[in-house]
Amino acid sequence: MLFINLTRQNEIGANSYYLEIENKRMVLDAGLHPKNEGEAALPLYKAIPVESLDAILVSHAHQDHIGSLPVLMRRFPDARVFMTYPTARLSDVMLHNSVNVMSRQRDELGLHAYPLFTHREADRAVQLWQSVAFQQYWTIDGERVSEPNPEPSFEMFSSGHILGSAGILIRGEGKRIFYTGDVNFLEQTLLRKANFPCEPVDVLIIETTRGDRQLDPNYSRRNEEQRFLQALEEALCRGGSVLIPVFALGKTQEVLTMLHLFRERGELQEVPIYIGGLSTKITIVHDQLAHLAPRQHENLQILDSISPYVLNRSDIQTTQINRKRIYALSSGMMTEKTLSNRLADRLLSDPKKSIFFVGYADPDSPGGRLKSARPGDLVQLDENLPSREMKCDVQEFDFSAHAPRELLIDYVRKVVPRLIFLVHGDLPALSWFKERLVQELPSATVIIPEPGRHYKFN
């Protein structure tokens, strides 16, 4: 068996991993780096040591896991591509949106390599994907089987992170190899927690996103929802508007579900709610697939219940923000030129306005800089915008779609792997897990896999 980490650095960037077992060659995930540009945004596909691949297995539809899938498929046209049906539907929307973003970047930043693929290529890619359901056995050659034989075979398990997200169990050479993808072991407002295998595995490839943060022992989703509700009500009672920067896929639907439940219980006043165009498309997929997802509120149709207004790029500078309004706009990290970035620039110096963060923001991103700023600090959200004094109310809430580190450690203890690869984390997070797992499981080998290096084992 051979494992190669195809990311360019040990970080949460463009996720992709090469795995060879019983002469079958596969790649797990095909991400695109959210911050890098051009070739540097792609995984190290040149480090794949073979001319052809048998399969590409996709864990979920976030950009850092599917963003370069058409590029990988172009390099390996014979590879079969597997993912869950919701992941396929969401990836279709995400990849086409990505072509639009890259085309704009080509014009604005002069990036001649962009777009890295075209709408037509994305369309062709979508046609070739094969969808699989949770807890079905499939051979790497694409045959559904009633038992996990012949090997190597794979099986997907709900990972509780976003709609369609999966952990992938691969059986081969008499071994069990489990890739967690992005996972959440806690119930979210909309999505149910992961349903992962409990039997021992030999090799575990595990995400470590939250390794740098201890879970507050008093944390509960319910309490956090209440705190969020109170903050919203206070802001609206002041006559203010609230911006909630969110990822279009996952966090938007979680926040809209919360707002709907608050309103339904009569706890939140009726004010206009705004979302972006991409979020609307993605929410439509959530509504269409409500019956297919392991989720709470199975009959909830989010768009009908919330009736949000849709804000486009052209409206963002002119939309009236004087009265009570809630804006759930992407991107979650307030990346330059996105809707949340532009609106935040308009709210920043107004003490009546609020910005509520509900998820992770890279410390170097505009959202990360704003989170760490204090009232009165000068904040610049884009190099083309002026620095402004921060006078608005900025608060943070924890609605993470990733498992707290303590629960990841519990899972590792349960499946007692003899070999553990730590991935999808920044260095402090990876180091914490390594140190902790060496103590917890002294007989296991714990590796932070160097990009491009070959790890062979029997």
- Let me know: does 344 contact 331? Beta carbons within 8 Å: no
64 lines the binding site for Zn ion (CB under 5 A): yes
Q: Percentages helix, strand, coil for the chain, rounded to the nearest 5?
A: 30, 20, 50
Which residue, 183 or 232, is less far from Zn ion as judged by CB? 183
The β-bridge relationship of strands 166-172 and 388-389 is unpaired
Tell me how far, at minimum, the Cβ of 239 lies from Zn ion, in Å: 36
**What does the alpha-carbon distance between residue 9 and residue 452 come to, in Å, rounded to a whole number?**
9
CB of 183 to Zn ion, least distance (A): 9
- Based on the shown chain and the rule CB under 5 A, indicate whether residue 182 belongs to the binding site for Zn ion: yes
Contact positions with Zn ion (CB under 5 A) in 390-419? none
Identity of the residue, 92 or 182, whose beta carbon is nearer to Zn ion in the bound complex? 182
Which region among 122-130, 131-139, 178-186, 345-353 touches Zn ion (by CB under 5 A)? 178-186
Give min distance, CB of 314 to Zn ion, in A: 29
User: What is the rounded CA–CA span in Å between residue 95 and residue 164?
Assistant: 16
Distance between CA atoms of 113 and 418, rounded to whole angstroms?
A: 43
In angstroms, what is the minimal distance from the CB of 182 to Zn ion?
Answer: 4
Say which residue the tokens 């980490």 belong to: 5
CB of 14 to Zn ion, least distance (A): 10
Q: Minimum distance between the CB of residue 90 and Zn ion, rounded to whole angstroms?
A: 11
Task: Return the closest-CA partner of residue 32 out of 3, 56, 8.
Answer: 8
Interaction of residue 254 with Zn ion, rule CB under 5 A: no
Least separation, in Å, of the C-beta of 385 and Zn ion?
29
Indicate the residue among 247 and 274 with the shorter CB distance to Zn ion. 247
The C-alpha atoms of residue 399 and residue 184 are separated, in whole angstroms, by 11
Q: Shortest Cβ distance from residue 12 to Zn ion (Å)?
A: 6
Size of the chain, expressed as the number of residues it contains:
458
Structure tokens at 203: 């090799």
CA proximity to 278, closest of 288, 286, 270: 286
Nearer to Zn ion, 263 or 281 (CB): 281
Listed ranges 1-9, 176-184, 351-359, 385-393: which one lies at the site for Zn ion (CB under 5 A): 176-184
Task: Say if residues 141 and 172 touch (Cβ distance below 8 Å).
Answer: no
List b or e across 106-115, with b for residues whose CB sees 16 or more CB atoms inside 10 angstroms. Answer: eeeeebeebb
383 CB burial (10 A radius; 0-12, 13-18, 19+): exposed
In three-state secondary structure terms, 301 is coil
Task: Give the binding range for Zn ion (CB under 5 A) out of 56-64, 147-155, 273-281, 352-360.
Answer: 56-64
Identify which range of 43-51, 60-68, 274-282, 303-311 contacts Zn ion by CB under 5 A.
60-68
Residue 62 or 353: the one with the smaller Cβ distance to Zn ion is: 62
**Two tokens at 410?**
């519990």
Nearer to Zn ion, 64 or 426 (CB): 64
Helical packing angle, 251-264 and 277-288, nearest 10°:
70
Site stretch for Zn ion (CB under 5 A), options 66-74, 151-159, 180-188, 412-420? 180-188
Interface segment toward Zn ion; rule CB under 5 A; list 59-67, 70-78, 94-102, 334-342: 59-67
Q: Which listed residue (24, 25, 62, 175) binds Zn ion by CB under 5 A? A: 62
Q: Does residue 29 touch Zn ion according to CB under 5 A?
A: no
| Nearer residue to Zn ion within complex by CB, 62 or 405 | 62
Residue carrying structure tokens 């932070």: 448
Q: What mask, x for binding Zn ion by CB under 5 A, covers residues 136 to 175?
A: ----------------------------------------
In the bound complex, what is the minimum distance in angstroms from residue 57's beta carbon to Zn ion? 15
CB atoms within 10 A of CB 31: 27
Of residues 179 and 262, the one with the C-beta less far from Zn ion: 179
Cα separation, 129 vs 82, whole angstroms: 6
Q: How far is CA 2 from the centre of its chain?
A: 27
Q: Total residues at the site for Zn ion (CB under 5 A)?
A: 3
Compute the least distance from the CB of residue 442 to Zn ion, in Å.
Answer: 30
Decide if residue 345 touches Zn ion (CB under 5 A): no
> Which residues are at the interface with Zn ion (CB under 5 A)?
62, 64, 182
